[in-house]
Structure 1
Amino acid sequence: MAGELENQQVIMGLIINGGNAKSSAFSAIQAAKKGDFLEANAKLKEADDFLSEAHNAQTAMLTQEAQGNHTNVTLLMVHAQDHMMNAITFRDLAGELVDLYRSHQ
């Protein structure tokens, strides 16, 4: 039971941090559109920090799996992974868009 609770906490952390990362990346694009590249860079850094937090939690789960402590894959876990992958992709795209706006200033 304790393992399930820990997994649920990790899964919710992935969802929350993934969502926060995507939101920060979107804010970076909005700042770049206004020409505020200090804010855009800060928001990209913020997105990276959220993704780092999520990655650490994900790595902990992978380590447990590698040690033979298998976790049942639930729809919620798949949803969390989906959030992470979308956040990573969106962060990468946001960095490119900020650079594009910067180059056209």
Structure 2
Amino acid sequence: MSIEELSKICMNLISNAGEGRNYVFEALELALREDYAGAKSKILEAEKYLSEAHRIQFEELMSPQARGEEIPFNLLLLHAMDLLMISISEKDLVDTIIRAKSTDV
């Protein structure tokens, strides 16, 4: 895989992970205002983007490498993987908070 191909894949992954993360923080803001239905809706939107980012990671990076294709390492790849991991972790945490708080009322 060329650096140019890798860069395109990474930017697509970053775009989806970042958009998903934005929805996660919108969900958190709604939950803080006790709009749990709105917060849950934002989490569902976040999941769409994070699922696409995860698909990109698996199908376009991990699977080719598992088949023996060399994936060049660079900081953009590191950033893409880090952003996806952080975004999924934050989504899980915010979703847990929403579920806990929405059952309190």
TM-score (norm 1): 0.89
Please name the residue that 2:44 is paired with: 45
Q: How does 1:84-103 map to 2 (within 5 A)?
A: 84-103=84-103
Give unpaired runs (5+ residues) of structure 1.
none
Please name the residue that 1:28 is paired with: 27
Q: CA deviation at 1:31?
A: 1.2
Misfit runs of 4+, over 2 Å? 2-6
Q: CA deviation at 1:87?
A: 0.2
CA RMSD of aligned residues (A): 1.4
Report the count of equivalent residues.
Answer: 104
Please name the residue that 1:66 is paired with: 66
Q: CA deviation at 1:75?
A: 1.0
d(CA) in 2 for partners of 1:43, 1:5: 33
For 2:73, the aligned partner's letter is V
TM-score (norm 2): 0.89
For 1:78, the aligned partner's letter is L
